[in-house]
Chains A and B, each alone.
Chain A
């Protein structure tokens, strides 16, 4: 077993906090790991990445070779594009779809998301919306790692333990918020994949996920939602038209 992950985002989004959680889980599980990161000039509000590798055997390079990454895990959708050529042909894109626009030439978000949707192995979640529901917009990084967690080689508890260690000195409330963000992110990711695996188109799966109230994601209901939406997704139009988010278990009946 060897897992190579490129963590991506913008300086200040907490990429290194994601690395902390996975590094420690890997150490705890007895794996070898290496994790290269960016400090100094490269960190000031610019694009930030970290190469994280763990395995049950020795790891040589601190950097992931092009074509060897199993996953790009990004807190920001545009940042996926900076590293997607590192992915193996069947590699995973796990990303928040919440854009971080601090440059004048940021492309249309729609365009960026359409490009991410071309990866059959993708998990897209609305980090901003979910973090807000968890109690703090800054917890988007924990949403992202939660969304990716089903593709990692650790139990949910192994990871949550280090979310707690990471935020402990900031108090119980911050720990709770971040653990909640992780859990919502995990459920959102599993629900999204449930929709896609049951046959829903990726853009539709994302749009539907964004309509669901984050605290209610239930992956077990994904197939029912796809059943409701129909093969062409046509029934989703009325759901999308609603102004409010809806609870995951409130699947409308088809008329």
Chain B
């Protein structure tokens, strides 16, 4: 009942707390990280919400599903590509259904500010046949959490709330409500529902498909899907795209449907389509609604415009200027033209970062080879791809460095080198290392153990120090081929020597470069 300044992420977190959530689960990933962090910090004192980082998004999702099974409300948060990791549990949780409310908050990153793609999580909601909310502002981030938990419990389905970077990382004043009670422990007794043997799974899948008309009815009736019919030109906005439209036009010349709850409200779209001669579709993400309306063969009698026809760029983040142009409006006058050839200020590793010393040593060790390429992974150390280090040559998916190095080795590539951080290793690097050891692949894994998740703001790492060493040995790496180095300028020569020794070894080896992240030291 007060007005608080909250990021969209924080509004989701506070909405979940006030909705009576008992557990929050997440792996850090921009732009979703602050949801978990906010809940963790806010509930630390009371200690009434379970908040501990998970090893990866799949684990987070499964933990949240377990809490739902036990009858309590759970929030699971991740970035869009994290949902790929969690997809197995996610897709099947729609089939099992839920017990306590289960809400999945996914933060997409149109424009790829901090990501390797801009996939649109609304497709995942559609794919799994579950409801999805898409808030247009921070207030809705907060309010929709109550609705999402209620809907999850009413329909016994997980519910998605889809954010984009501009909502996740933008602050506004949010009016808050009083908190409601958490659920009591009430484990599900419905064994068949949770045991997806084919015979049970078919029954459950039928339940899921039978719920679809009710999901659609809720979308049609939802106040979040607002239809205003006036002129013969129509616009559909999804989520925050409505803001960019309102920023540019205030008059009622356009008939507008604002969609913020899915499945797509077909009847409302039908009424809009029947009313207009042309239709512009504004979505911050993939052209999901646009492609549905267009179908394979287009829409007879109505000109449909959007990302697929070029009125809106096919890729990238929406903004008020792009929407302005798509409306055919002239740009606003400006005080100055954009500066030409302005010196860029790219992100870089911090001064004194241990990764810099690790990669300097690796670069020198590898100069015995002709143009050796290094498979790498996702974290601060991905910045080593840029000058001056230019030490790594791939970044694809969490843990992919090790699997790709193994595949390259299978093909005869040598030296097959993978560079991966300690937290990324725990997230997705253990299983490919185990595979490589079992096959006796000739590869070298450099684990950059800086004791934290650096890029997202120094969260807790699951496998660092002795835990990391035990995992590596447990995966079957021979003791004499697990080397530990301290990446400092002083140790440069000896580190190069150790790296060269392991590069010369025919078989799997792991070199752990261990020195704590400077930011983590600062924050401790």
Given the known inter-chain contacts A38-B113, A42-B113, A44-B348, please indicate yes or no for A61 contacting B339, CB distance below 8 A: no
- Contact assessment for A66 and B332 in the assembled complex, using a CB-CB cutoff below 8 Å: yes
- Contact assessment for A62 and B166 in the assembled complex, using a CB-CB cutoff below 8 Å: yes
Residues 65 to 92 of chain A near chain B (Cβ within 8 Å): 65-68, 78-79, 81-82, 84-91
Query: Which of B147-155, B241-249, B402-410 participates in binding chain A?
Result: B241-249
Q: Does A103 contact B (CB under 8 A)?
A: yes
Residues 435 to 489 of chain B near chain A (Cβ within 8 Å): 455-457
Closest 3 CB pairs of A and B: A67-B332, A40-B30, A44-B347
Identify A65's interface contact among B137, B321, B348, CB under 8 A.
B321
- Report the Cα distance A12→B163, complex, angstroms: 26
- Report the Cα distance A62→B166, complex, angstroms: 7
A33-B173, A64-B320, A65-B248 given; name 11 further pairs at CB < 8 Å.
A32-B172, A39-B114, A40-B33, A41-B347, A44-B350, A46-B348, A60-B246, A61-B319, A81-B339, A85-B336, A87-B334
- Contact assessment for B170 and A62 in the assembled complex, using a CB-CB cutoff below 8 Å: yes
Distance (whole angstroms) from the CB of A89 to the closest CB of chain B: 5
- Contact assessment for A35 and B171 in the assembled complex, using a CB-CB cutoff below 8 Å: yes
Q: Does B310 contact A (CB under 8 A)?
A: no
Distance (whole angstroms) from the CB of B308 to the closest CB of chain A: 24
Chain B residues contacting A62 (CB-CB under 8 Å) are: 166-167, 170, 240, 243
Chain B residues contacting A34 (CB-CB under 8 Å) are: 137-138, 170-172
- Report the Cα distance A82→B173, complex, angstroms: 28
Chain A residues contacting B5 (CB-CB under 8 Å) are: 23-24, 27
Q: Does B270 contact A (CB under 8 A)?
A: no
Identify B170's interface contact among A35, A65, A66, A79, CB under 8 A.
A35
Given the known inter-chain contacts A34-B170, A65-B324, please indicate yes or no for A40 contacting B332, CB distance below 8 A: no
- Report the Cα distance A24→B240, complex, angstroms: 24
- Contact assessment for A45 and B348 in the assembled complex, using a CB-CB cutoff below 8 Å: yes
Distance (whole angstroms) from the CB of B426 to the closest CB of chain A: 20
- Report the Cα distance A36→B244, complex, angstroms: 14
Q: Does A102 contact B (CB under 8 A)?
A: yes
For chain B, give the interface size range: 35 or more
Chain A residues contacting B244 (CB-CB under 8 Å) are: 60-61, 63
Chain A residues contacting B173 (CB-CB under 8 Å) are: 27, 32-33
- Contact assessment for B345 and A84 in the assembled complex, using a CB-CB cutoff below 8 Å: no
Q: What are 6 residue pairs bridging A and B, where the CB atoms are less than 8 Å apart in the complex?
A: A36-B171, A37-B170, A61-B320, A68-B320, A88-B335, A89-B335
Identify B320's interface contact among A63, A79, A87, A90, CB under 8 A.
A63
Which residue of chain B has its CB nearest to the CB of A46? B347
- Contact assessment for A84 and B336 in the assembled complex, using a CB-CB cutoff below 8 Å: yes
Chain B residues contacting A46 (CB-CB under 8 Å) are: 345-348
Residues 326 to 356 of chain B near chain A (Cβ within 8 Å): 331-339, 342-350
Q: Does B380 contact A (CB under 8 A)?
A: yes
Q: Does B14 contact A (CB under 8 A)?
A: no
Q: Does B169 contact A (CB under 8 A)?
A: yes
Distance (whole angstroms) from the CB of A123 to the closest CB of chain B: 15
- Contact assessment for A85 and B345 in the assembled complex, using a CB-CB cutoff below 8 Å: no
- Contact assessment for B114 and A107 in the assembled complex, using a CB-CB cutoff below 8 Å: no
Given the known inter-chain contacts A39-B114, A41-B113, A42-B114, please indicate yes or no for A60 contacting B335, CB distance below 8 A: no
Q: Does A47 contact B (CB under 8 A)?
A: yes
- Contact assessment for A45 and B342 in the assembled complex, using a CB-CB cutoff below 8 Å: no
Chain B residues contacting A23 (CB-CB under 8 Å) are: 5, 171
Q: Does A119 contact B (CB under 8 A)?
A: yes
Looking at chain B's contact residues, the main secondary structure is: loop
- Report the Cα distance A32→B5, complex, angstroms: 11
**Chain B CB within 10 Å, residue with most, of A45, A60, A61, A78:** A61
Chain A residues contacting B457 (CB-CB under 8 Å) are: 39
Residues 8 to 51 of chain A near chain B (Cβ within 8 Å): 10-11, 19, 23-24, 27, 32-47, 51
Which residue of chain B has its CB nearest to the CB of A16? B171
- Contact assessment for B321 and A84 in the assembled complex, using a CB-CB cutoff below 8 Å: no
Q: Does B65 contact A (CB under 8 A)?
A: no
Q: Does B272 contact A (CB under 8 A)?
A: no
- Contact assessment for B247 and A84 in the assembled complex, using a CB-CB cutoff below 8 Å: no
Chain A residues contacting B336 (CB-CB under 8 Å) are: 84-85, 87, 119
For chain A, give the interface size range: 35 or more
The number of inter-chain residue pairs (CB within 8 angstroms) is 152
- Contact assessment for B343 and A103 in the assembled complex, using a CB-CB cutoff below 8 Å: yes
Identify A36's interface contact among B33, B169, B455, CB under 8 A.
B169
Given the known inter-chain contacts A24-B5, A27-B5, A62-B166, please indicate yes or no for A11 contacting B347, CB distance below 8 A: yes
Identify A40's interface contact among B113, B338, B344, CB under 8 A.
B113
Interface residue ranges, B against A (CB under 8 Å): 3, 5, 30-31, 33-34, 113-114, 137-138, 166-167, 169-173, 240, 242-244, 246-248, 319-321, 324, 331-339, 342-350, 380, 383, 455-457
Which residue of chain A has its CB nearest to the CB of B336? A84
- Report the Cα distance A209→B324, complex, angstroms: 42
Identify B169's interface contact among A38, A41, A47, A65, CB under 8 A.
A38
Which residue of chain A has its CB nearest to the CB of B7? A37
Q: Does A244 contact B (CB under 8 A)?
A: no
Chain B residues contacting A90 (CB-CB under 8 Å) are: 335
- Contact assessment for B247 and A60 in the assembled complex, using a CB-CB cutoff below 8 Å: yes
Identify A61's interface contact among B34, B247, B331, B347, CB under 8 A.
B247
Given the known inter-chain contacts A34-B172, A42-B113, A62-B166, please indicate yes or no for A106 contacting B343, CB distance below 8 A: yes
- Report the Cα distance A139→B349, complex, angstroms: 23
- Report the Cα distance A78→B137, complex, angstroms: 32
Q: Does A105 contact B (CB under 8 A)?
A: yes
Chain A residues contacting B334 (CB-CB under 8 Å) are: 66-67, 85-89
Chain A residues contacting B339 (CB-CB under 8 Å) are: 81-82, 84-85
- Report the Cα distance A36→B163, complex, angstroms: 14
Chain B residues contacting A61 (CB-CB under 8 Å) are: 243-244, 246-247, 319-320
- Report the Cα distance A26→B243, complex, angstroms: 20
- Report the Cα distance A84→B340, complex, angstroms: 12
Chain A residues contacting B456 (CB-CB under 8 Å) are: 40
Chain B residues contacting A106 (CB-CB under 8 Å) are: 343
Distance (whole angstroms) from the CB of A234 to the closest CB of chain B: 31
Chain A residues contacting B332 (CB-CB under 8 Å) are: 65-68, 88
- Contact assessment for A44 and B343 in the assembled complex, using a CB-CB cutoff below 8 Å: no
- Report the Cα distance A33→B139, complex, angstroms: 12
- Contact assessment for B172 and A35 in the assembled complex, using a CB-CB cutoff below 8 Å: yes
Chain A residues contacting B138 (CB-CB under 8 Å) are: 34
Given the known inter-chain contacts A47-B345, A61-B243, A103-B343, please indicate yes or no for A39 contacting B30, CB distance below 8 A: yes
Distance (whole angstroms) from the CB of A150 to the closest CB of chain B: 19
- Report the Cα distance A37→B346, complex, angstroms: 17
Which residue of chain B has its CB nearest to the CB of A66? B321
Distance (whole angstroms) from the CB of B354 to the closest CB of chain A: 15
- Contact assessment for A44 and B113 in the assembled complex, using a CB-CB cutoff below 8 Å: no
Chain B residues contacting A45 (CB-CB under 8 Å) are: 345, 347-348, 350
- Report the Cα distance A100→B383, complex, angstroms: 21
- Contact assessment for B114 and A40 in the assembled complex, using a CB-CB cutoff below 8 Å: yes
- Contact assessment for B347 and A67 in the assembled complex, using a CB-CB cutoff below 8 Å: no
